[in-house]
Amino acid sequence: MMVLRIRIFPKSMPIKRLFSMTALVTVSSLVHEHLLTLADNHVIQKNNLLNAHDDITAISRWLEEFRLSIHTYRAYEKESLRFLYWLYVAQKITLNEARKQHIHDYRVFLMDPQPAEFWCAPLGDRRNSRKKAQWMPFSGPLKLRSIQAAMTILNGMFTYLLNAQYLSSNPFSLIKQRLVEKFDVESRKIDIVERMLSKEEFHLLIQAIELMHQRQLKAPAWIERSYFIFYFLAYLGLRVGELVSHHWTDFLNMDGKWWLTILGKGKKLARVPVNNQCLVVINNYRQSLGLCELNRDRLTADPLICKLNKNNTPVLQEGVTERSIHLILKEVALFAAEQTDNRSLQEKFKRFSPHWLRHFSASMQAQADIPFEFIKAHHRHSKDETTRLYIHHEDHERHDWSQHLDLKQKK
């Protein structure tokens, strides 16, 4: 049973009075009670392929389609419940009553959820939400990319519910996002450039691990594992979720060449090539675990990244979570920030995220003159534009070539 902290209020109650009325209820109970306050002409869809008689049940049926992908499920659950909450609270309507104008209004609302004291809790701190005994689903305005993602998810939900005959229409299908996408690409370019590591900055992070080892701040097993995570992500450009969900048996040797078989985003199966330098990193890490070099006849189903017990001894059969990877790499980055007097670099390392290594991998592959189509395949991007966001050496080359243009009048 999903639970929200939310306010129940009569249809005619002004927004100012809402702040004094709170209740902690289950979503299902909330929906059935709140539907009674809606307009008399409201109709619940009864004959549908989902056998759903209210919005929460219908959304739950849709979410069940994504149970095998926990990250997708959580993202879709968040966006669908945010939208449903907004419909009920701000518009006092249900999913089936949503029209094109409501979708436009919601997109504008996401740019700046107001009143903020009602909708927004401090980022990473839900205590304010708990004190008010209500659900505050936002931390502030959403970026264009997040708004676009929300629109795409909700469009998919409405399409599903329309096909299931629960809804009579899909107003999201009437919304054109080309303008949003255009500005989104430009904003993402700026954002990614700010989060792009140079090769020198990457080496500073590696040096931070070495310094932690020299000062005996961490156990040798922790050091070896951290080395491996940094280099492995940088060489192969994996997502963190892919790193923690794969095993040694996912390595494949064909004609003497090593590949890593990846079940990635969208459940797409792909093979990522392992170059010889990365192979050295892999075998060094395996050696630290007491394992032999990569050998297709002696690979186990143990996770690639294993836990360390209280004595910092590797537990080969137990993997780590994505959160653990984030914490490990974040600790290294914060330590690296402490080792420099460069304020800009300090701030950059403090904002470091493991996903930056995926960006770094694509950028370094481009600088190594690996063909664009291969970089796209390595990172399993469905669109060329996604890959180009991470590749900047062409921009530098174009800028250099532009210097050949001379419009001055020759004397």
SS3 assignment for 84-102: HHHHHHHHCCCHHHCCHHH
* Domains in the chain with CATH codes: 3-191 (1.10.150.130), 195-398 (1.10.443.10)
pLDDT at 328 over 90: yes
Check residue 24 and give left, alpha or beta (phi > 0: left; psi -120 to 50: alpha). beta
Chain centroid to CA 51: 32
**Torsion (CA) 163, 166, 169, 170 in degrees, nearest 10:** -70
Residue 270's beta-bridge partner residues?
Answer: 262
Q: Which residue do the tokens 């093979």 mark?
A: 271
Q: How confident is the model at residue 341 (pLDDT cuts 50, 70, 90)?
A: very high
**Statement: residue 106 has pLDDT above 90:** yes
Tens-place pLDDT, residues 357-390: 988 887 787 777 777 777 777 766 555 555 555 5
User: Is the pLDDT confidence value at 398 over 90?
Assistant: no
Q: What is the pTM of this model?
A: 0.59
**Considering all CA atoms of the chain, what is the largest pairwise distance in Å, rounded to the nearest integer?**
85
Stretch 272-286: mean pLDDT: 92
pLDDT for residue 8 is more than 60: no
- 27 — pLDDT class (breaks 50, 70, 90): very low
* pLDDT of 16: 35
Summarize the confidence of residues 95-114 as an average pLDDT.
91
Report CA torsion sign: 72, 380, 281, 300.
positive
Residue 93: what pLDDT?
Answer: 87
Query: Which pLDDT value is given to residue 5?
Result: 42
Q: How confident is the model at residue 194 (pLDDT cuts 50, 70, 90)?
A: low
Contacts of 20 (CB under 8 A, 6+ apart): none
